[in-house]
């Protein structure tokens, strides 16, 4: 897999976050916040005075509040399996799922060099807003779409990322469904507890 594709996975977890005139204003706000947050992440990656641990800590602090991890976890598992879990299982699954998502992009941060992220536009898809961005290197460019929904309490939050047409949520759902065809939710939890229990969502060349 080419490095730009791997680096794209970084920004799959770095994308980031608030139609008549009201909807036009909301699209502008989502674009503004996305631009600011991606810019902050890039500056942290370029800051050579920070050690890796401190840099990663700051990046997580920047991006975590902007994702709706519960919605992502629930959609990745599927409603049928989610509603059948106990409260304790949901709590553990969410914690493990978030941990795995964080690990999957933090482990790739060292691959970033000088690629640029260009924010193209925001479009309304029913009650959602999709932000199209491109990862641009000297020889190539890769499309990424960040999908936002509006929470009544927390505002606009990312609920999925699509890299070159491949949905992160759907990729995880495929993995979970594969485990659940022959096993139980406990098997999924066990797999998530293991180091490298799930592959990182990726895209084809």
Summarize pLDDT for 100-157 with one digit per residue, the tens: 888 876 776 666 777 788 888 899 888 899 999 887 877 778 888 999 999 888 899 9
pTM of the model: 0.79
Tell me: pLDDT of 19 over 50: no
Tokens 């960040």 -> residue = 146
Q: What average pLDDT is seen over the chain?
A: 82
Q: Which residues of 175-194 are buried (b: 16+ CB within 10 A; e: fewer)?
A: bbeebbeeeebeebbebbee
User: CA 129, CA 200: separation in Å to the nearest integer?
Assistant: 25
Q: What is the CATH number of the domain that holds 94?
A: 3.10.450.710
- Flag whether 204 is in a domain: no
State how far Cα 59 lies from the chain centre: 13
Q: How confident is the model at residue 200 (pLDDT cuts 50, 70, 90)?
A: very low
Domain count, the chain: 1
What is the mean predicted confidence (pLDDT) over 4-20?
51
Element (H, E) at 59: helix 52-63
What is the mean predicted confidence (pLDDT) over 32-48?
87
- Flag whether 198 is in a domain: no
User: CA 70, CA 76: separation in Å to the nearest integer?
Assistant: 10
- Flag whether 46 is in a domain: yes
- Flag whether 203 is in a domain: no
Write down the pLDDT at residue 111. Answer: 67
- Flag whether 93 is in a domain: yes
What is the mean predicted confidence (pLDDT) over 87-111?
85
Domain region containing 52 = 3-193
- Flag whether 202 is in a domain: no
Tell me: pLDDT of 20 over 60: no
Write down the pLDDT at residue 14. Answer: 55
Q: How confident is the model at residue 203 (pLDDT cuts 50, 70, 90)?
A: very low
pLDDT in tens, 44-86: 988 989 999 999 999 999 988 889 999 999 999 999 999 999 9
Write down the pLDDT at residue 70. Answer: 93
Tell me: pLDDT of 4 over 70: no
């Amino acid at each position: 897999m080419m490095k730009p594709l791997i680096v794209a996975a970084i920004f799959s977890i770095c994308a980031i976050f608030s139609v008549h005139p009201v909807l036009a204003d909301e699209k502008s706000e989502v674009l503004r916040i996305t631009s600011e947050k991606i810019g902050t992440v890039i500056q942290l990656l370029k800051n050579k005075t920070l050690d890796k641990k401190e840099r990663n800590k700051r990046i997580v602090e920047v991006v975590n509040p902007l994702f709706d991890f519960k919605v992502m976890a629930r959609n990745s598992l599927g409603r049928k399996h989610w509603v059948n879990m106990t409260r304790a299982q949901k709590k553990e699954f969410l914690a493990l799922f978030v941990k795995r998502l964080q690990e999957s992009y933090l482990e790739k941060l060292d691959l970033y060099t000088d690629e640029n992220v260009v924010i193209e536009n925001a479009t309304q898809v029913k009650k959602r807003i999709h932000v199209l961005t491109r990862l641009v290197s000297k020889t190539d460019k890769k499309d990424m779409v960040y999908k936002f929904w509006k929470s009544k309490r927390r505002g606009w939050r990312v609920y999925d990322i699509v890299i070159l047409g491949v949905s992160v949520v759907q990729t995880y759902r495929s993995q979970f469904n594969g485990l659940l065809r022959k096993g139980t939710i406990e098997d999924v939890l066990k797999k998530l507890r293991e180091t490298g229990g799930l592959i990182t969502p990726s895209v084809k060349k």
